[in-house]
Structure 1
Amino acid sequence: MTSNRPLFDAYPQLKDALPWQQLADLPTPVEALANVGANAWIKRDDLSHAVYGGNKIRKLEFILAEVMAQGREHVVTFGATGTNHGVATAMLCQQLGLRCTVLLFDQPESNTVRDNLQRMKKFGAELKFCGSLAHTVMRFYGHPLRLSRKHYFLFAGGSNIAGTLGFINAAFELRQQIEQGQCPMPDKIVVPVGSAATVAGLTIGAAIAGLRTDIVGIRVAPSHLGPIPTCTVATVGQLMKRTCRWLSRNKIALPPIPPPTLIDTYYGEGYGVRTEEGDRATAKFADCGITLDQTYTAKAAAAYLDSIIESSEAQLYWHTYNSRPV
């Protein structure tokens, strides 16, 4: 039987150090993508919740447990107008009786943007439209309630140590599925990279769990905000270092952790701007019954399809986009 907390099974000492609340439907399935290739596999995190899935749910199991353990009552976060993170956070905050405010920056209009704005309103989030990314970030870091003991300020995408631990747990989940024969050991795992916690957690988790696989992140967010790096090898590496320090303080003996791998060439003309490669990937995955979005998963899936062509080894695409209907 596959556990929904394999990280705790491997390291029981973390049960007292790491707040956790079951919010996700785990484990998510691994499936062959026969229409893509004989060596093609997918991890279905789009099915991580019965109402609204995606990769954010895994992070929020740990993040919102931390919120409640600290006695906080109001989560303040930020993202684009079509933020999947904002939807997942609003939904689970409503479920747990927490208030939620989402600061929003503009992104190109799309069905995903319209649907997610509708979802966030449905889940009771307070939405504040801030215009540009730069202005939104300033509003987030300069918020007048920053020192309030009742407010929890959550970085975009749920990318903090708690969120990263959610994807270390995910790597152990995949190891269980491999050991049970549900899929082969992938030579490569391809995943989109925006705020970094997903790729950071999988990179650390694969090393700790002993998975012989390369974690390859496909950058889908701006690399810099002016001169400030926001989605780079260095920013992912910094989150990994903070998380590894936390693990070490909690008596987890770490093996050598590889640096993150980040590919920039599928980003296109901007955040949320569709690409021809992404459109082709969207059509190809639709033939498999998998829905992609133009901002994140289409670009990562395009990279995955190119990688499949170049290799005869098993490769796994980690699907991070919700597939539940509006």
Structure 2
Amino acid sequence: MSIGGSPIFGIGTPLGSIGFINAIFELKNQIDEGIIPEPDIIFVAAGSTGTSAGLTAGCKLLGLKTKVYPVNVSRDIVVNPKNLIRIANKSIKYLRKRDKSIPDVQVNEGDFDMIKGYLGSNYGVKTVKGQEAVDLVYELEGKKLGFKLETTYTGKAMAAMF
């Protein structure tokens, strides 16, 4: 704002979630082209619910049977079903306002399954389960392919998958 512009906040906002709706459109294109099958589930770390709201809204908009499993890695006041639904539905409303061909659908609690128990003592704090998942994935694939999960988001989401 000091340089005369208006900031766009992307974390846990409807506008920020639209990129993840777009990711589901890309996924649907790959499904339609026979590149991949429709996934049954998507696990995603949820620190603000913005990502999981967008993914859930995208699945709902496109009629995918894929269920999103947000893994809570932040405080319940931020990561909760009510917040996810609010962001998802505001994202859909934002898109519909600009393009009436966007389906008039509403995300509800049955469209996702929030997973708790992986936060640990606080946001960003390592957990035993998360570290074990990081270490296991590194030994099985990461070392060979040159990647390593981290412990705040991906390690905890992977632990929930296990």
Q: 1:175 aligns with which of 8, 16, 28?
A: 28
Pairs aligned (count): 153
AA matched with 1:257: V
AA matched with 1:200: A
- Indicate the residue corresponding to 1:283 in structure 2: 135
Q: Deviations over 1:73-132 (max 9, x none)?
A: x5xxxxxxxxxxxxxxxxxxxxxxxxxxxxxxxxxxxxxxxxxxxxxxxxxxxxxxxxxx
- Indicate the residue corresponding to 2:117 in structure 1: 265
Q: Does 1:243 align with 2:95?
A: no
* TM-score of the two chains, using structure 1 as the length reference: 0.44
Which protein is richer in helix relative to its size? 2
Structure 1 SS opposite 2:114: strand
* TM-score of the two chains, using structure 2 as the length reference: 0.83
Structure 1 unmatched runs, 5+:
1-73, 75-144, 224-228, 306-326
Describe the shift of the 1:284–1:208 C-alpha distance in structure 2 as closer, same or farther (beyond 3 A). Answer: same
Describe the shift of the 1:295–1:191 C-alpha distance in structure 2 as closer, same or farther (beyond 3 A). Answer: same
Checking the alignment, whether the CA contact within 8 Å between 1:189 and 1:216 is kept in structure 2 is yes
Structure 2 SS opposite 1:191: strand
- Give the alignment's Cα RMSD to 1 decimal: 2.0
Task: State which structure, 1 or 2, has the greater radius of gyration over its C-alpha atoms.
Answer: 1
Matches of 1:173 and 1:237, distance apart in 2: 22
The percentage of aligned residue pairs carrying the same residue is 33
Q: Deviations over 1:29-68 (max 9, x none)?
A: xxxxxxxxxxxxxxxxxxxxxxxxxxxxxxxxxxxxxxxx
Checking the alignment, whether the CA contact within 8 Å between 1:281 and 1:301 is kept in structure 2 is yes
Q: 2:49 aligns with which of 190, 196, 214?
A: 196
Q: 2:6 aligns with which of 141, 151, 156?
A: 151
Report the CA distance between 1:264 and its aligned residue: 1.2
Matches of 2:58 and 2:30, distance apart in 1: 14
Report the CA distance between 1:159 and its aligned residue: 2.8
AA matched with 2:16: G
